[in-house]
A and B are shown apart, each in its own frame.
Chain A
């Protein structure tokens, strides 16, 4: 469905004319991932001082300032807006110290592939991001993105994309992803989306609406009206559907909502309440939890529908569930031992085994897309976001607040998003924290926000 076309991505420094990216490109493909040369050593979890790396992000240039549906100020104005998006992406993750287009000279179109080095070295920028945007005859936009090492006067990476005007922000996120990946050696995550619950009204009469937005909060959209309470959304891996809980018929029930058609269907035809929906990584399976006479167990059903398979069968509350990236295991929550703890089982329900013995309660486990960590809510007095390895060891707390819960992973498994509830007021907000626990930030949302669910990187 996306008309993304991969153009070029070279890590070898080779001076290239701008026309290289302006020549006709194949259409209709998806962005290909390119084997990059190893990034600079280091990761978000390192103690390395990425914060000190100065990156200059200049306004994207255009060959010809023409009108575009993407911006009221033409392709020239759009170029500056795109650089601003890249700047915000890189600034907000706390790793870099970028300088944005408003504080920098605007390069010309020809300088995009041949930077005016003295300008940038005089500004003590270590890294330089250049880009351009061109309107195509078919109405779409070609966007190029270049990363340079100023000291080496060398090109580190480049890529280009063709996008419909409405998707211009995605091209900017792809550019930020290119820079982030090349400099940290980590997988990208900016070009992704988040589903969450928008909250308004007083604590004892809250309106809760299903909403979606880009990873940076842009393109915000409410899905439900708020007449009935909506909770716990989960994006399908292809972003076409949302699983969520709604009280629309008066009972808590899980629905599959089709974003394209706006239609929604019950996950299972049952009079019993259903909770805690989850997708398998390949999108073929759905986990849900169902209470029968007060006893809650976890079930699995094909995303196409059909009969459900019961995976747990113990007295008490077995709920939630998160697949390992390879789909072979499920980590879930159970109070069969007397209090909420985290367990793991095979995808067919066999070999159920308790993982958490940390003291307190352990809830809402989410397996990292990388497979190396499980994020969860550790309840010992306060509610804190924590991670552990998949064997239940190496506990590390990432946050220390009154009530943080419901972690969800960035697509690259390097940032955890969660929601924070304020004591007394009940105000809720979305937050992100990296795996060091040092870089914590609040995500801007139009109103209060809870139950975040981060989707995968867009193709």
Chain B
């Protein structure tokens, strides 16, 4: 259903698409939950080890999070660039599987937001699959409005919370 997005998939992953509608907030939210991050200090003082969230985030230039407009789940140009980077990483590192977490802002009812988060996670997953990542390497989970990264009640915070976060399954 998102096939029309594949046409822009060939664009360079890291390049921001000038002129595209910007939905991402000015300030990037913190990296996803600490539970998914392992400290590589003991074994690899040189840098993040493959298989860690840190390695993944570095490998996609910090573009492991994409953002959505209010009540929307479509992949815009900036999202496409980020997902392209993620797809390239996943193609390079065939052993890595990810979970895409779908999130919403607090300005929605609980049940609906759970379903909307699921839609967002699936939109990101479908896009990655359209770029050649096998579907069985991507799990989805919706957290609805349960796990905000920005805790304010304002447009900027809500924009940061309407997101899909890709997390390495360790």
Binding site for B on A (CB under 8 A): 202-204, 206, 208, 229, 231-232, 245, 250-252, 273, 275-276, 289, 291, 293-296, 317, 319-320, 333, 335, 339-340, 363-364, 377, 379, 383, 402-403, 405-406, 421, 423-424, 426, 450-451
A317's partner among B115, B123, B147, B150 (CB-CB below 8 A) is: B115
> In the complex, what's the smallest C-beta–C-beta distance from B104 to chain A, in angstroms?
12
Mask of B122-154 contacts with A, CB within 8 angstroms, 1/0: 110010000000000000111010111111110
Known: A203-B148, A204-B148, A229-B146. A289 touches B141 (CB 8 A): no
Task: Establish whether residues B111 and A291, one from each chain, have CB atoms under 8 Å apart when the complex forms.
Answer: no
* Of listed B71, B110, B150, residue having the most chain A CB within 10 A: B110
10 intermolecular pairs with C-beta atoms under 8 Å apart: A204-B150, A252-B144, A289-B115, A291-B118, A294-B119, A294-B122, A339-B71, A340-B109, A364-B111, A424-B153
B5 within 8 A of A: no
Known: A204-B149, A251-B141. A231 touches B112 (CB 8 A): no
CA distance A269 to B115 in the complex (A): 19
Interface size range of chain B in the complex: 20 to 34
Known: A203-B151, A273-B118, A317-B115. A364 touches B146 (CB 8 A): no
B112's partner among A203, A340, A403 (CB-CB below 8 A) is: A340
> Assuming A275-B111, A450-B110, what are 11 further A-B pairs, CB within 8 angstroms?
A203-B148, A231-B110, A252-B114, A252-B144, A276-B114, A289-B111, A294-B121, A317-B119, A363-B112, A402-B153, A403-B107
Residue of A nearest to B30 (CB): A204
Task: Establish whether residues A406 and B118, one from each chain, have CB atoms under 8 Å apart when the complex forms.
Answer: no
Task: Establish whether residues B149 and A294, one from each chain, have CB atoms under 8 Å apart when the complex forms.
Answer: no
CA distance A232 to B107 in the complex (A): 17
Count of CB-CB pairs between chains A and B under 8 Å? 93
Task: Establish whether residues B123 and A232, one from each chain, have CB atoms under 8 Å apart when the complex forms.
Answer: no
CA distance A421 to B153 in the complex (A): 11
Q: Interface residues of B: mostly helix, strand, loop or mixed?
A: mixed
Mask of B92-126 contacts with A, CB within 8 angstroms, 1/0: 00000000000000110111101110110111001
CA distance A291 to B114 in the complex (A): 10
Residue of B nearest to A297 (CB): B115
B115's partner among A296, A426, A451 (CB-CB below 8 A) is: A296
> In the complex, what's the smallest C-beta–C-beta distance from A33 to chain B, in angstroms?
34
> In the complex, what's the smallest C-beta–C-beta distance from B157 to chain A, in angstroms?
9
Binding site for A on B (CB under 8 A): 71, 73, 106-107, 109-112, 114-116, 118-119, 121-123, 126, 140-142, 144, 146-153
Q: Which 9 residue pairs spanning A and B have beta carbons closest together? A: A294-B122, A296-B115, A276-B111, A291-B118, A294-B119, A317-B115, A363-B109, A423-B153, A203-B151
> In the complex, what's the smallest C-beta–C-beta distance from A216 to chain B, in angstroms?
25
**What residues of A have a CB within 8 angstroms of the CB of B71 in the complex?**
335, 339
Task: Establish whether residues B112 and A291, one from each chain, have CB atoms under 8 Å apart when the complex forms.
Answer: no
CA distance A291 to B125 in the complex (A): 14
Task: Establish whether residues B109 and A364, one from each chain, have CB atoms under 8 Å apart when the complex forms.
Answer: yes
CA distance A231 to B142 in the complex (A): 13
CA distance A295 to B151 in the complex (A): 28
CA distance A335 to B70 in the complex (A): 14
Residue of B nearest to A419 (CB): B110
**What residues of A have a CB within 8 angstroms of the CB of B106 in the complex?**
403, 421, 426
> In the complex, what's the smallest C-beta–C-beta distance from A421 to chain B, in angstroms?
7
**What residues of B have a CB within 8 angstroms of the CB of A340 in the complex?**
109, 112
Known: A296-B118, A339-B71. A250 touches B111 (CB 8 A): no
